[in-house]
A and B are shown apart, each in its own frame.
Chain A
Amino acid sequence: MSSYPEKFVYTKEHEWVNAQDGIATVGITDHAQHELGDIVYVDLPKVGSRVEQGKTFGSVESVKAVSDIYAPVSGEVAEVNDSLTTTPEKLNEDPHGAAWLIKVRMSAPDEIKKLLSAADYQSYVGAES
């Protein structure tokens, strides 16, 4: 059973957000990486591009599936985790840590209030599986 950090908030599409000082670090959850299986490729936006809450901003691929990733918050991409291009397996190994995807300079920080707490997400994935 995986544990979901309390300081993150979560989406029903299985992204997590760690918001600090107007910057949101975004990743996919342990549940998501487990469902996807061995991740072989991550497609991420360029620094400076805009993302919008609820819209896709990239995708993750296993050998036989592609899954879109949805932006949990809106804003401008401030940083991209380039290391995932060469070592996508990090997403399987450390989804809540080293394998963050992008950092977003939030344009509407209130958006995170709509997202799930760790406990809510835990019970959501419990119910889903």
Chain B
Amino acid sequence: MIRKVRQHISQNEALLFEETSPGKAGYQLPELDVPSVDPQAALGAPNVRVEIEGFPEVSEVEAIRHFTRLSTWNYAIDLGLYPLGSCTMKYNPRVNEFVARLDGLAWAHPYQPESLSQGALEIIAELESALLEITGMDAITLQPAAGAHGEFTGILLVRAYLESQGNPRKKILVPDSAHGTNPATASMAGYSVQNIKSNAKGMMDVSSLARLLDEDTNNEIAALMVTNPSTLGIFEEDIAKVAEILHAKGAMLYMDGANMNALVGLTRPGDFGVDVMHLNLHKTFSTPHGGGGPGGGPVAVKKHLEPFLPIPRLKRVNEAWTFDYKFPQSIGRVRAFYGNFGVLVRALAYILAHGGNGLKNATIDALMNANYIRRKLEPYYDLPYDSPSMHEVVFSDDRQSKQGVRTGDLAKRLIDYGFHPYTVSFPTIVHGAIMIEPTETESKRELDLFIDAMISIAKEIEKDPKFVLQAPYLTRTSRVDEVTAARRPIVRWRPQRTSSQAAD
């Protein structure tokens, strides 16, 4: 039975370009306090455009209605559980939004004098030191704009370090459960990728890793990129040993911090042998995902990688903060200015709100929520790996696919029950993966509703699998035809075509 939602009216809304009518405007500029300049005279006629063809012309009222109507077509954390595995969709505290918009911060220009930027620099410094304490690493850069950007930075650091040792090496090892960004990153940094298989416990196989490194007589392996806990939600129990094996051959251990929400306050990557890692501020540290960004991807390193960090770096001189550009071994810049500062403000606000113990308590609640779901759903869904779960649990659709219902279909039915789907078909090492990460944000009531929904769907599949295949039924948009979208891509609006144009 569907308990969380019922249907309600939702507004239709055309595209802006279809609502446009010439002469309408949603703005008013103040009178110029200087003489108006004729663009053609100032710039030369060929440099001046006639108009922005097709650009919208709507009033302020229509603009706010347009975007408000669109917004109601979205699911959001503010509406309920977002069980996407390895995405850590947690509550986005509103005070964080408030403080990031304070004039002195929001209007700070990156090139304004350092003497007039001390407050902003202090925020960066505080966040750096908090993240170092949380990760147990030695030095950090906050410049990368997102997780994948952090990975790229981190692997460039590995490369620069190994080059300084005389050999940049050729290969990055990536477990078969890794995020797609890992191999893509390795290749952007000029490395080839070798996949390594997980063992029956869903962990890295230490003995085969050791063999791989033994056989690497030419020292081609530069680093291993590992997500810990893995995308199966399982802590790599031999991680310290893995680090040892790599270090013995001069290779580095890179940790993808996507699942750091399982570790904060309990264990620190710096204490189990990680050389370099990135964090996702939009996951672990609650900055809003915003429909796909912005994020923040700080990269923390051990001492030996510090000289290679991007410039500039913060330095304390004469009781003031200043940017230091003098790092001859630095990999350079990975982004203009100092990173997504507004995101950094929000992450620091989150850390301040929790404090040290609070962060640990959040981690514990995240673990508890995942294990609670695991216990309650185990009778209904196959659990391919029974190692202890940290902050997420991965089931497979093995039982349901026998009835012809795959994880993707099940996910669509979950929408009818008022929930966003879990992560579908990932990690790929699980056949028909159902990957669930509740985070600490969920109340017991919300979790129980979700569990009920999952059980109810399992029963529906037993009774009438065909019914589930057509879901969702209750959304304003029914199943979207992604195949046609990809076969005949239409990636922008164009004015009504005449029949001759339509033919091409």
Residues of A bordering B, CB below 8 Å = 38, 40-41, 61, 63-64, 88-89
Q: How far is the CB of A65 from chain B (nearest CB, A)?
A: 10
Secondary structure call for the A interface: loop
Q: How far is the CB of A106 from chain B (nearest CB, A)?
A: 32
Q: What 3 pairs between A and B have smallest CB-CB spacing?
A: A40-B486, A38-B483, A40-B487
Tell me the count of chain B residues lying within 8 A, CB to CB, of chain A.
5
* Residues from chain A with Cβ under 8 Å of B486 in the complex: 40-41, 61, 63
* Residues from chain B with Cβ under 8 Å of A89 in the complex: 487
Pick 8 A–B contacts, CB within 8 A, sort by A: A40-B483, A40-B487, A41-B487, A61-B486, A63-B482, A63-B483, A64-B425, A89-B487
Residues of B bordering A, CB below 8 Å = 425, 482-483, 486-487
Distance in angstroms between the alpha carbons of A89 and B486 in the assembled complex: 11
Secondary structure call for the B interface: helix
* Residues from chain A with Cβ under 8 Å of B425 in the complex: 64
* Residues from chain B with Cβ under 8 Å of A64 in the complex: 425
Distance in angstroms between the alpha carbons of A43 and B136 in the assembled complex: 47
Q: How far is the CB of B490 from chain A (nearest CB, A)?
A: 14
Q: Look across to chain A and name the residue whose beta carbon is closest to the beta carbon of B487.
A: A40
Q: Look across to chain A and name the residue whose beta carbon is closest to the beta carbon of B408.
A: A64
Distance in angstroms between the alpha carbons of A88 and B482 in the assembled complex: 14
Among A40, A41, A64, A89, max chain B CB count under 10 A is at: A40
Q: How far is the CB of B87 from chain A (nearest CB, A)?
A: 17
Distance in angstroms between the alpha carbons of A127 and B487 in the assembled complex: 32
Distance in angstroms between the alpha carbons of A49 and B482 in the assembled complex: 33
* Residues from chain A with Cβ under 8 Å of B482 in the complex: 63
Q: How far is the CB of B482 from chain A (nearest CB, A)?
A: 5
* Residues from chain B with Cβ under 8 Å of A41 in the complex: 486-487
Distance in angstroms between the alpha carbons of A64 and B482 in the assembled complex: 10
* Residues from chain A with Cβ under 8 Å of B483 in the complex: 38, 40, 63
Distance in angstroms between the alpha carbons of A63 and B483 in the assembled complex: 6
* Residues from chain B with Cβ under 8 Å of A38 in the complex: 483
Distance in angstroms between the alpha carbons of A64 and B487 in the assembled complex: 12
Q: How far is the CB of A104 from chain B (nearest CB, A)?
A: 26
Q: How far is the CB of A111 from chain B (nearest CB, A)?
A: 29
Q: How far is the CB of A85 from chain B (nearest CB, A)?
A: 10
Distance in angstroms between the alpha carbons of A40 and B483 in the assembled complex: 6
Distance in angstroms between the alpha carbons of A41 and B485 in the assembled complex: 11
Q: Look across to chain B and name the residue whose beta carbon is closest to the beta carbon of A37.
A: B483
Knowing that A41-B486, A61-B486 touch, tell me 4 more A-B residue pairs with CB under 8 angstroms. A40-B486, A40-B487, A63-B483, A88-B487
Q: How far is the CB of A10 from chain B (nearest CB, A)?
A: 27
Distance in angstroms between the alpha carbons of A38 and B486 in the assembled complex: 10
Q: How far is the CB of B408 from chain A (nearest CB, A)?
A: 9
Q: Look across to chain B and name the residue whose beta carbon is closest to the beta carbon of A61.
A: B486
